[in-house]
Amino acid sequence: MASYADQGAVEWAESGGGPLIAIPEVVLPFWTGADGVELASDYDRACDVDGYIGLLPVGNTTALVLGDDPAATAYLPEHGTFVRWCAAESERQLLAGVPAALDAAVWEREVHWDIPGAVILFDAAWPGNDAEKAGHLRIALEAGRYAVRAAYAAAGPETWLGLVQLRQVAPLG
Domain residue ranges of the chain, discontinuous segments joined by +: 20-171
Q: In which element (H, E) is residue 104 found?
A: helix 98-104
Q: Supply the pLDDT for residue 145.
A: 97
Give Cα separations from 97 to 4, 33, 155, 164 (angstroms): 11, 33, 5, 15
Q: In which element (H, E) is residue 58 found?
A: strand 53-58
Is residue 88 classed as helix, strand or coil in its secondary structure?
Answer: coil
Q: Supply the pLDDT for residue 17.
A: 85
pLDDT in tens, the chain (173 residues): 334 445 556 899 988 888 999 999 999 999 999 986 667 899 999 999 988 999 999 999 999 999 878 889 999 999 999 999 998 888 999 999 999 999 999 999 999 999 999 999 999 999 998 888 778 999 999 999 999 999 999 888 888 999 999 999 998 76
Give every CB contact of residue 157 below 8 A, 6+ residues apart in sequence: none
